Amino acid sequence: MSREYNEAMNDLRFSPEAKKRMTANLAAAHEQAAHPRPDVYAVRGGKRRWRYAAAVAAAVVLVVGVGGVASATGNLMSMANVFDDLFNGPPAQTEVVDKIGRPIGASATSNGVTVTAEAIIGDRTNYAVVFSIAKDDGTAFEGIEPLESGILPLGFESGSSVHVDGVMTGGGSGHFYDADPSDNAIQYVEQMSVTTIGGSIIGHTARVSLSDLKMYDGSTSHVIAEGEWNMKFAVDYEDTSVDLPAGQTIKVSGMDATLDSVTVSPIALTLEYTVHEVLNWEDQESGRMSDHNQNETDRFLDPSITVSMKDGTTIEIDALRGAGGTREGANSTACNKSIMFDEFLNLDDVASITIGGAELPLP
């Protein structure tokens, strides 16, 4: 039996292509960690790409809105206004998009289909990037019926990824939609919250490796565009994150905790805190979270969060919908949370953020 086990494990190995990709990513990530200066790549501008920057934001709302309960106020920038601002004038709030968004313009063509990384918005540890996918002959992809949510039932082949150098862990989502039914392009949006070496992805290189666009029909799928699209671009938007003073005692699901760090940007709130109790983690037999461990993790990753605007209105943030992680110590549990907002938050309009009962005024 040990021979059969050893033979089976011996056959478990990365492909030469995967090793080549990993070697390149590893070397690049090491270079950037050693010389943390932003890479410089050609960036093409233009209004169309800014339009996509706004589209990324709209798409983020589409995704995070599924589980979100945040209520909008007049001080928040609605997505409709983002579009209006981009095309009809430069109101002050457009400056927010100018800072957190960047057009990209990197593209790759395979078998008559071009995939273009159009734009990215983000902060130090959260980002959303939008790609357009179009046939070079100008015809549209046929027979794709959107779901009720507007999402197109599409996906890239297993192994496709957007990897930002230096990222250690991450969680997020990806989906397809049609930003403009009058043209032949469809859009793919990927949004991620990550932990990263050095604490920021800004200045790092994003490496895109996509293959075979597939359409899903129930549990089956078929390829509608065969090919491989590889590209890279610099994550080079402005760092609009604001670090708030930490160290306060807070309550998380009734437990005592200490805020270790709080960072807010126009698109996300990122927290680190230590709960002074140990998460009761039970061994589980796979990567799928057991009910017990999920309930226990939720208990530690659900601080109450309220954003208070200067006009007196408030926004309740559902912390559970964000990404997060825990690490148990001997007597405490270190937690991190990243929550992307439903809408852009102009920090000039924010008076304070209250986390687990502790009010943190913005500078």
Partner 1 sequence: MEARKPSEAEAERLVETYADLILRLSYTYLKSTHDAEDICQTVLLKLMNAKPRFEGPEHEKAWIVRTTANACKDALRSGFRKRAVALDEAPDTAAPEEPDTGVTDAVMALPQKYREAIYLYYYEGYSVQEIADLTGRSVSAVSAHLSRGRGKLRTMLEGAYCEQGI
Site for partner 1 in 7-26 (CB under 8 A): 8-9, 11-15, 18-19, 22-26
Burial 181-212 (b: 16+ CB within 10 A, else e): eeebbbbbbbbbbbbbbeebbbbbbbbbbbbb
Which one of residues 283, 330, 331, 363 is an interface residue with partner 1 (CB under 8 A)?
283
x-marked contacts with partner 1 along 173-202 as a string, rule CB under 8 A: xxxx----------------x---x-----
Size of the site for partner 1 (CB under 8 A): 72
Minimum Å gap between C-beta 215 and partner 1 is 9
Contacts of 241 (CB under 8 A, 6+ apart): 123, 124, 263, 264, 265, 270
Q: What CA–CA distance (Å, rounded) separates 115 from 154? A: 14
In terms of CB distance, is 137 or 148 closer to partner 1? 148
Which one of residues 117, 210, 234, 262 is an interface residue with partner 1 (CB under 8 A)?
210
Task: From 1-9, 51-59, 99-107, 354-362, give the range in contact with partner 1 by CB under 8 A.
Answer: 1-9
Minimum Å gap between C-beta 92 and partner 1 is 33
In terms of CB distance, is 101 or 166 closer to partner 1? 166
Backbone Cα Rg of the chain: 22
The runs of H, that is alpha helices, within 207-314 are: 291-300
In terms of CB distance, is 83 or 146 closer to partner 1? 146
Minimum Å gap between C-beta 338 and partner 1 is 9
Contacts of 272 (CB under 8 A, 6+ apart): 246, 259, 260, 261, 262, 334, 335, 336, 337
Which one of residues 284, 295, 311, 359 is an interface residue with partner 1 (CB under 8 A)?
284
> Residue 193: phi, psi to the nearest 5?
-115, 135
Residues 99-118 that bind partner 1 (CB under 8 A): none
In terms of CB distance, is 60 or 104 closer to partner 1? 60
At residue 342, the 3 state secondary structure works out as coil
Contact between 216 and partner 1 by CB under 8 A: the answer reads yes
Minimum Å gap between C-beta 64 and partner 1 is 9
User: Rounded to an integer, what is the distance from CA 214 to the centroid of its chain?
Assistant: 22
Contact between 227 and partner 1 by CB under 8 A: the answer reads no
Contact between 295 and partner 1 by CB under 8 A: the answer reads no
Which one of residues 93, 94, 297, 332 is an interface residue with partner 1 (CB under 8 A)?
297
The one-letter amino acid at 289: M
Q: What CA–CA distance (Å, rounded) separates 339 from 320? A: 8
Residues 262-281 that bind partner 1 (CB under 8 A): 281
DSSP secondary structure, 101-124, as one string: EEEEEEEEEETTEEEEEEEEEE-S
Terminal Cα distance for the chain, rounded: 65
In terms of CB distance, is 25 or 184 closer to partner 1? 25
In terms of CB distance, is 51 or 163 closer to partner 1? 163
Task: From 84-92, 164-172, 231-239, 259-267, give the range in contact with partner 1 by CB under 8 A.
Answer: 164-172
- How many Cα atoms are found within 13 Å in the side-chain-facing hemisphere of 37? 3
Contact between 34 and partner 1 by CB under 8 A: the answer reads yes
Minimum Å gap between C-beta 85 and partner 1 is 28
x-marked contacts with partner 1 along 315-334 as a string, rule CB under 8 A: ------xxxxxxxx------
